[in-house]
Structure 1
Amino acid sequence: MFVYLSKKIAIPNNFRLNCIAWNQRQGFIAVGGEDGLLKVLRVESNTSGPSSDGKTRGLAAASNLSMNQTLEGHNGHVQVVTWNEEHQKLTSSDQHGVIIVWMLYKGSWYEEMINNRNKSVVKGMSWSSDGQKICIVYEDGAVIVGSVDGNRIWGKELKNTSLTGVQWSPDGKLLLFGLKTGEVHLYDNQGVFLMKPSSIFGNSGQTQTIVALHWYDGKNGYVALDCPTLAICYQSGRVQLMRNESDDNPVVVETGMTAVWCSWNNSGSLLAVTGLLPLLTNGEKKDTNFIQFYTPFGEHVRTLKVPGREVTCCAWEGGSLRVALSVDSHIYFANIRPDYKWTYFSNTVVFANERITKDGVCVIFWNTTNNSCCTKYVRSLISVASQGEHCVLATRNEANQGMEQFALIVCNTIATPIDTKYLDLEPLWITMTSNTVIAASKNNFILWNFRTPRNSALNAGRTRRDRIYHVDDTPTGVTEVIQDLDRDRTFETPVNTKATVDPICTICSTEKILLVGRESGMIQCYSLPQVTLTNRYSTNARPCKMAVNCNSTRASIIDTSGILTMLDFENQKGSGDNEDCSKFERKDVWAMCWAQDNPTLLAIMEKTRMYVLRGLDPEEPISCSGYICSFHDLEIRCVLLDDLMQHPDDTRPDHILDLEVKSLRDTRELLAKVGLKEANNFIQDNPHPRLWRLLAESALKQLDLETAENSMVRCTDYLGIQFIKRLQNVHNDQLKRAEVAAFLGNYDEAEKLYLNLDRRDLAISLRQKLGDYFRVVQLMKMGIGGSDKQMEHAFNKIGDFFAERQNWDGAREYYEKGRNLERLIQCHYKLEDYHELAATVDQLPDKSPILKTVARMLASVGMCPQAVNAYIKYGDVKQAVDTCVRLNHWDQAVDLAKTYKMVQIGDLLNKYAEHLLSNGKRLQAIELYKKANCHLEAAKLLFKLAEEKAKERSNPLRVKKIYVLAALLIEDHIKNTPALKGTRSNVVMGLTESNEDSKVIERAWRGAEAYHFLLLAHRQLYNGESDAATKTSLRLREYEDILDSEDIYCLLALSSCLNRAFATCSKAFIKLESLEKISESKKEDYEDLALSIFTKYSPKDSRNSRTECVNCETMVPDWCVACPNCSSRFPACVVSGKPLMDLTTAWICTVCRHYAATERDVVNINACPLCHSTITYI
């Protein structure tokens, strides 16, 4: 960080100033002094005037007083001023205790409220962070808390207490009071005492007056998770920094001054402490004003000497780039140039946002070419450096990422880590070469040869070891040679880690040398890549920054006082040709950058001016407050980091400034106003490739080919020389001008000249080289169009343009015009237009490789038939079958296997089914067999499932449905069996099946019939149709192999008892009592129940209806299921369950082949009662 005084404002009548406050939001400055002096000033930067060109932005902009108002109302010395930034109010108090609140109205400040206690002097006032409450403390111990509207909230008298200051906590819940004795007391916002925070003086009995309290409110974030925010400044010069009010381990700072004030900047990253320090001047001691800057952890950053007799206060500007100090009757402004953590490489600015987040520190990679940003979060960033195409971040390691405490991360321009090195050496300073990172702590430095993808491939077996050196050692390079030859790594030298008395304070490097600066002012020079100490140089001050020119012959050094000196490595004594660098000196320098292509050019920043040093002679300064990124081709690129840090999310191209050196500006002026000859003479006196290139371009525009060729030779532009030779063969001046315009990048002008010459072909060729195919198509349509092939090529290129930008609609349109089926397929797929994608199969020829791509795309979205069609057309039947299997289209897979005689599909099907069954996925196996048209296998699995459900006593309706589904699959099997192409009876009779399969087919509907009649009997029973229920129950006796016998005969006994068919009921009870599977107790229950029934009723059927058998004309009971005489079986009606003696009038289902008594029985139902198939006709 660098600080310098930039401006001074004198107060009229030499009134002494006592206090100062800077409104960080609106920029108003309030100063209070003797005899009631109270002024409000506003210093604004003139960045919008006609002379503002963007270079003079920030601190470099001219500033003027836009407000200078004297506020009248105080009679005594004004001692305290404070701002309420939330409500734009100013509060002031004087030695008589008069407090005035001022408000802004129409651009001027007016008195709003006044209060006079008339008892004591106000020693401190503080507004809460939300601006709603103010706390006022008096010297006699009185405390008043009021609201922003002037109402008193509460007051308190602290007995025997002399107060010196007050601060609100950031959340507004606590009040901290400073006492004249050096103690601090903590109260809540209602005035209740809480505690005495720990003091650095403890119980020593020393009386130390507190001169300032400042508690940072955290509104702009924190620089670290545990950084102190509360500063307590004592008159003795000690500053106590606390993390919170309960911090038992505060940071203590010894400033060595008689302190008068302290203040945090707006982000809590710097604490400014002002005071007086006695210095010996001309043999006598004299108090001198100083302002010192510290980090939140108490590290000293910078000290600035301030002129005048006595400094009384200081205040920060809102952006933390300026500090205002009240000294005697003057206001001094000091500019701050912070040491941001940033670097620049490959057109990319890398900078770290100081505010820490929950993810750590955000490092932003801003590509200035396309204005895009990439981010990377690290736990804690120590430093950053760059070289070539890479940068390195030195970070503190995560606690869970190994034993090493620190890490070096090499990244590219898009924040991607290329290589990482973990180490215990704290990398306080880092520098880079093209393949080496050099990191230094206070005692040691390490050379790490990082690996990039490019050099890893080229030098796979030639990597160097990482080497650590102590700053006090004298390496000769011999050890490194031995280690490079020692492939087995048996030769290791111990690392010296002793603390040195002269620590390292800065480093820099080139490909040839490494400079290490030490606090004593000594600079050690090492050669690279073999690290050998070649020289030591002594300077008069501690170096802060160092830089080496492009040929490693000269170094520039900035010390801690901002003084720039030079160090010449090749200066020989007695040589009068070289400039003497030993006496060169520039003051107030805070940044520098050597030219990358000229070892004598150096750009430096002095305050808000940039100087370019040619040798040791400075050119005319340029007003600028940017940080220098690079110096190349006589152009200096700067970045306005101050603006970037304030708004890191708002990266704009105008944050980058490109400044030209004087010779480049003069050359442009000579070429524009004088002529080529004079410019040529000037450039010969000030040679540089950029100037020769500028002259060559100007000569080409004037068609002075001789001068242009000479200039191209001077700047070693081989392509330019070849262009001039080609141009000499062109005899038309207009055509030459068109070629020159195209060569210089003026493509629109070149096209216009070509068209004026009626050379549309050359204009088209130019646009094709540029890749501007939109214009190519326009030019082709302007006259006689090009060939179809040329137009299709142009359309395809435009399609590529849209495809690269993910605009697939636009790409498809032009690919269709260009007849590019291959890319059109990609567009259909990206747009999810799969029907169009499938349609392209018909447009492609057989065996086309594109068919395979289309098939894969269709298969990826589950369009199996279309994918199979594409594979078949391509000729890959195996892949088609595999696709069917993968997408679970087994029927199609089986058909393909049969068509193309592939025998392995059956084995694959069975293996997959066994796999599903072993995993308990029976339903999936059934579905698999169904899709593969293996209906019989699916039916067998369903029969097993139904039997298991029946044993589990599941819902009978569900069991019936399972049996029906299995029977329907058997029917499908019968229909699809091609054997004999005969009748259904062939299959049913088992002529084409194994014995087991034929049984399954023959008994297909028995399970469904059993549960159908069981459900029907229950329904009839509950509906009171006892006769029908009895007949249906009698039918159930045929299904004892499927249904439980006990259930059958219990149902029969119940229904026949209700039907008063006691003979049938008696037979049912006899059957129940003879069952072996039931327990004895149940048998006794059944016997008791039968006894109770048949002691009351005789075992005779009350109804005895008879019907004639159609075969033998014998009269049989209407409940018989078979004729006793001729054994003819009577099928059951699926609607009523009664036996059907005459089938001539019966209705038959076309699916399950079961009967209903008459067609009238099915008139009012929509589906077959048994198989539930829809009845389509009667």
Structure 2
Amino acid sequence: MFIYLCKKISMPNNTRIYCLAWSSEQGWIGLGGDDGLLKVLKLESGKTKGITAPANLSMNQTLEGHTGKVQVITWNEQHQKFTTSDQNGLIIVWTMYKGNWYEEMINNRNKSVVKGMAWDSEGKRICIVYEDGAVIVGSVDGNRIWGKELKGLTLTGVQWSPDGRYLVFSLRNGEVHLYDNQGNFFMKLSIQCFPSLVITGIPVVSMAWYDGRNGYVENNCPCFAILYQTGQLQLMRNQNDEDPVILDTGISAVNCSWNHNGSVLAIVGSSVFPEDNKETNVVIFYSLYGEHIRTMKIPGRIITTVVWEGTSLRIALAVDSFIYFAIIRPDYKWAYFSKTLVFSHSSKSGTEITFWDTNNNEVHNKQVKFLYAINAYKEHCAIAFKTEDTNEQYMIHVCNSIGITVDSKSIDIEPLWVSINTTQVFCASKDHFMIWHFMTPKSHSTLGITGRHRRERLYHIDDTPSGVAEVIQDLDKTYQPNVNMQATSDPICCIAVSDKILVIGRESGSLQRYSLPQVALVQRFTLPVRPKTIAVNCDSTRIAVIDISGVLTSVDMESSVNNNKLERRDVWAIQWASDNPDLLAIMEKTRMYVIRGSEPEEPIQSSGYICSFKDLEIRTVLLDDIMANPDVLTIEDHILDLEVKSLRDTRQLLEKVGINEATAFIEQNPHPRLWHLLAEAAVKKLDIKTAETAFVHCSDYPGLQLIKRLNNITNDQIKKAQVAAYFGDFNEAEKLYLDADRRDLAVSLRERLGDWFRVIQLMKMGSGGSDSQLQYAWNSIGDFFSDRNNW
């Protein structure tokens, strides 16, 4: 996941903001602050295709009604209402009428301040908790359902359970109490995130319980977050979870919030970093299992809250008197191969994997319990997941373009990363990596695949394999090398593979290169920062690396030297060209750059994810739009084909300048695709010499055969007809033949195409053509109808 700040909105008179709420359905943003400040904002929904960029405000309405500091805002998505409360205990319910927001109901208890408000998942009931222990549950139409005084308790927040059966109250002393939806005490939740397991009066600053409205990443996964002021975090599967995920964020925390599908938790607070030597605001992202994803520093003095957009592609942060917006580029689990896009998304029943054939617009689906990774190469993709049986085995499936499993393997290590080449699947846990030679129907007929090649091989990341163990296994089939099963102090963090090499990145910044197919460690080199993504070029001579800060560097495999000229920041995706080892496409914020060697070309505006890079054309997919509605897939709306600048420039030179200038440009920027463009343009203008040179450069043998035929023809009209036929413009070729009074060549062309109806028409246009030719044409027409049972 990559994140960057994109927009800042300031409040009038430097009024400090205390709370934010972002409507996931309609996109309205409610904000409250000092002196009764209450606004409703909305960002423009219309956007350029393929661009996820900061948008301008389409609504900025100031609402009047509060006089004190507005501290709590909550949306009712189902009924398009929102509720606000200030430091004086005044509660106002607002509703939309003719495009503007108006007061609908007002309530003022005048005894205590409201510390939390929450609507249930259906939007029918709201629970309001006061600092002095008072709890009120009301209906959406304003009626009071029940109220209760919790004597001796100082409340700090409230959450509904996803099914609406329970209410959870957080207390200033750090305890969390569970009540049923009628206000009856049920139990105290087990808090285990403190080392002593004893809460020492540290208050709960935020609770977030994801309601499952957009499906779950996995059945029975953590979805309830409890965050303490000192940074302790507890992630629970439900209210009875006795084995929660616990971690210490290391910050002074103020707020947390789940994304739209409960897969990422954002936490905001402040911390002192050694390099800054002062307190700095931060937002930290964790997975639902507590794994750290990314940390970003936020400018300003005091940060108060974080909220997600409905699609989780943006977050809003309240800092002092400003709202900061940040764009998020998620790490989707997807791959592209054989013109098929395979991607995963959460559904009500679990994780669904979709295979979309972009050529025929056909879709095939399959479901798994918990998906770890997807990777593809040429004709197959590898899927790593956890099974649903009681043993919960780890599985690797190799699938074709319609989602049919052609080979599978049960493995013992957790496949956090997976990669695939022509014949092997590589998967890695934090401590080990494994190599498995998969079989396909095509490879079953291949001779020479021994049992040793078929057997999977497991290696520890700290070991130094030399390939000797494989030789011993060849001589002694019973030999099994010992594998170190200890945990490493420097875990694996990413892998990349080609047919020649395997590259593994470690958290310390170390990169290890192994030769293939004999697995031997041949090279180690170190980067200053932990790598996040590695990509190997098409001839395995260079790798590109993105580190956790989004900085791109390139390493030459032969010399182990970093290419200092190639260093780009804010990079979130990379793709080497599959036919040129020097061309690299990168995504930098909302721009795509193509880098030749170390020099970038003019950028292209895009936020698409790069599928393929071949023949100077880059295919991108708009995964953000697909994930928003994965059931509706169209090539026109979700696939973008972009051309490299050198290809665009060559087209313009050929169209507007001339052959000679285009030839000079291509000689400076050689590529088979450009030579082919030049050959096509030259041969159409009957510049035979230039065309022949260009066909030679792009190794086009049929093109050279065309040149040979043209050299034997003296009539320019017939030459043009031959060229038109070569490039598939058969109607133009026929017209040129007839204009040159060569009806026989027109007939011959249609015969080669099997267009026998047109052959008869041409023969009837005048004399010529033998009886046998005419008879053969009529017989072929008869065969045409016979093949279609049209008697």
Retained in 1: the 8 A contact 2:386–2:392? no
Please state if 1:480 is matched with 2:470: yes
Structure 1 residue 748: Cα displacement? 4.6
Point out where structure 2 has 5 or more consecutive residues left out of the alignment: none
Structure 2 Cα separation of the partners of residues 336 and 769 of structure 1: 56
Aligned residue type for 2:360: N
Equivalences for residues 787-826 of structure 1 within 5 A: 787=774, 789-794=776-781, 796-797=783-784, 800=787, 811-812=788-789, 814=790, 816=791
Distance (Å, rounded) in 2 between the aligned partners of 1:132 and 1:98? 21
Structure 1 pair 460–96 and aligned structure 2 pair: CA distance change class (3 A): same
Letter in 2 for 1:162: T
CA distance in 2, matches of 1:504, 1:99: 52
| Higher radius of gyration, 1 or 2 | 1
Give the structure 1 partner of residue 24 of structure 2.
24
Q: Which residue of 2 aligns with 1:616?
A: 598
Counterpart secondary structure, 1:118: coil
Amino acid at match of 2:682: A
CA distance in structure 1 between the aligned counterparts of 2:72 and 2:388, rounded to whole angstroms: 46
Q: Distance in 2 between matches of 1:369 and 1:95?
A: 60
Give, as a single letter, the amino acid of the residue that structure 1 aligns with 2:460: H
Check conservation: 2:565, 2:598, Cα contact below 8 A. no
- Aligned CA-pair RMSD: 2.5
How many pairs align?
782
CA contact under 8 A between 1:225 and 1:356: conserved in structure 2?
no
* Aligned counterparts of 2:450 and 2:666: Cα–Cα separation in 1: 45
The 5 Å alignment of 1:149-168 reads: 149-168=141-160
Structure 2 distance, partners of 1:265, 1:72, is 30
Q: Note if contact 1:388-1:434 (Cα within 8 Å) is conserved in structure 2.
A: yes
What SS does the corresponding residue of 2:273 show, helix, strand or coil?
strand
Secondary structure in 2 aligned to 1:585? strand
2:596 is equivalent to residue 604 of structure 1: no
Residue 248 (structure 1) shift? 2.4
**Partners in 1 of 2:146 and 2:734 — Cα distance?**
82
Q: Which amino acid aligns with 2:293?
A: V
Which residue identity is paired with 1:685?
Answer: Q
Distance 1:751 1:259 in 2: 77
| CA pair 793-86 structure 1, distance change in 2 beyond 3 A | same
Whether 1:667 and 2:654 are equivalent positions in the alignment is no
Aligned: 1:68 with 2:60 = yes
Which residue, 561, 566, 572 being the options, matches 2:554? Answer: 566
SS state at 2:8 partner? strand
2:240 corresponds to which residue? Answer: 246
- Does residue 446 of structure 1 match 2:434? yes
- CA distance in structure 1 between the partners assigned to 2:365 and 2:342 by the alignment: 9
Does residue 1:330 correspond to 2:317, yes or no?
A: no
Q: State which of 175, 186, 195 in structure 1 corresponds to 2:178.
A: 186
The match for 1:122 is 114
* Residue 499, structure 1, aligned to residue 479, structure 2: no
For residues 799 and 177 of structure 1, what CA distance do their matches in structure 2 show?
Answer: 79
How far apart, CA to CA, are the structure 2 residues paired with 1:281 and 1:437?
A: 41
- Please tell me whether residue 302 in structure 1 is matched to residue 285 in structure 2: no
Distance 1:189 1:664, change over 3 A: same
Question: Which residue type is aligned with residue 118 of structure 1?
Answer: N
1:59 paired residue number: 52
> What residue is the counterpart of 2:683 in the other structure?
700
**Other-structure match for 2:693:** 710
Q: Match for 1:382: what amino acid?
A: Y
Question: Do the aligned residues in 1 keep the contact of 2:214 with 2:346 (CA within 8 Å)?
Answer: no
Question: 1:330 offset after TM fit, Å?
Answer: 1.0
SS of residue paired to 1:241: strand
* 1:634 matched to 2:634: no
Cα deviation per residue 1:873-894 (whole Å; 9 max; x = unaligned)? xxxxxxxxxxxxxxxxxxxxxx
Distance 1:572 1:168 in 2: 56
Q: Does the 8 Å CA contact 1:229/1:242 hold for their aligned counterparts?
A: yes
Take 2:280 and 2:512, find their aligned partners in 1: how far apart are those partners? Answer: 36
Whether 1:535 and 2:528 are equivalent positions in the alignment is no
Which one scores higher on RCO, CA 8 angstroms, separation ≥ 6?
Answer: 2
CA deviation profile, 1:149-195 (whole Å, cap 9, x unmatched): 22222222221221111122222232222221222222232323222
Among 567, 572, 589, the alignment partner of 2:571 is 589
Query: What does 1:400-411 align with in structure 2 at a 5 Å threshold?
Result: 405-411=393-399
SS at match of 2:722: helix
Deviation for aligned residue 1:315: 0.7
Q: Which amino acid letter does the alignment assign opposite residue 477 of structure 2?
A: R
The letter for the 2-side match of 1:593 is Q
Match of 1:383 in 2: 373
What TM-score do you get using the length of structure 1 for normalisation? 0.64
Q: Is the 8 A contact 2:552 2:568 kept in 1?
A: yes
Aligned pairs for 1:828-847 within 5 A: none
Q: Identity rate of aligned residues, in percent? A: 58
The residue that corresponds to 2:91 in the other structure is: 99
How many angstroms apart in 2 are the aligned matches of 1:364 and 1:763? 48
Aligned to 2:513: 525
Q: Which amino acid aligns with 1:59?
A: T
CA contact (8 A) 1:404 1:422 kept: no
* Structure-2 separation of matches of 1:564 and 1:396: 32
| Partners of 2:533 and 2:546 within 8 A in 1 | yes
Q: Deviation digits for residues 193-230 of structure 1, max 9, x if unmatched?
A: 22222223697251121111222111111110011222
1:725-740 to structure 2, matched below 5 A, reads 725-740=708-723
The one-letter amino acid paired with 2:600 is: P
Post-superposition shift, 1:264?
A: 1.0
1:89 aligns with 2:81: yes
Alpha carbons 1:230, 1:241 under 8 Å: kept: yes
CA distance 1:320–1:722, shift in 2 (3 Å): same
Following TM superposition, by how much is the alpha carbon of 1:454 offset from its aligned partner in structure 2, in angstroms?
2.4
Could you tell me how far apart the structure 1 residues matched to 2:761 and 2:9 are?
Answer: 66
Q: Distance in 2 between matches of 1:778 and 1:105?
A: 70
The letter of the residue matching 2:212 is G
Distance 1:205 1:437, change over 3 A: closer
- In 2, distance between residues paired with 1:671 and 1:536? 48
> More helix per residue: 1 or 2?
1
User: 2:35 is matched by which residue type in structure 1?
Assistant: D
Query: Equivalent residue for 1:722?
Result: 705
Superposed CA offset, 1:331-351 (max 9, x none): 111221111111111111111
SS in 1 for 2:198: coil
Aligned to 1:227: 221
Cα drift, residue 546 of structure 1? 0.6
Matched, 1:418 2:411: no
Query: How far is 1:404 from its partner?
Result: 8.9
Report matched runs for 1:235-274 at 5 Å: 235-274=229-268
Does 2:138 align with 1:146? yes
Larger relative strand fraction: 2
Say whether the 8 Å CA contact 1:223–1:356 is kept in structure 2.
no
CA distance in 2, matches of 1:379, 1:778: 63
Q: Is the 8 A contact 1:174 1:189 kept in 2?
A: yes
Aligned-partner SS, 1:171 = coil
> Do the aligned partners of 2:579 and 2:614 also contact (CA within 8 Å) in 1?
yes
Q: Specify whether residues 511 and 108 from structure 1 end up closer, same or farther in structure 2 by C-alpha distance, changes over 3 A only.
A: same
Q: Summarize the Cα distance change of 1:289–1:676 in structure 2 as closer, same or farther, 3 Å threshold.
A: same
Is the 1:773–1:797 contact (alpha carbons within 8 Å) kept by the matching residues of 2? no
Contact 2:267 2:285 in 1 (8 A): yes
1:745 aligns with 2:728: yes
SS of 1:719 mapped into structure 2: helix
TM-score, normalisation: structure 2:
0.94
Checking the alignment, whether the CA contact within 8 Å between 1:431 and 1:439 is kept in structure 2 is yes
CA positional deviation for 1:45: 4.5
Q: Which moved more, 1:452-461 or 1:584-593?
A: 452-461
The alpha-carbon deviation at position 777 of structure 1 amounts to 8.4
Instruction: Look up the SS of the partner of 1:63 in the other structure.
Output: coil
Q: CA deviation at 1:797?
A: 4.0
Deviations 1:1042-1069 (A, max 9, x none): xxxxxxxxxxxxxxxxxxxxxxxxxxxx
**Secondary structure of 1:721's match?**
helix
Q: 1:320 aligns with which of 312, 331, 336?
A: 312
Contact 1:404 1:423 in 2 (8 A): no
Question: Aligned to 2:460, which of 451, 458, 470?
Answer: 470
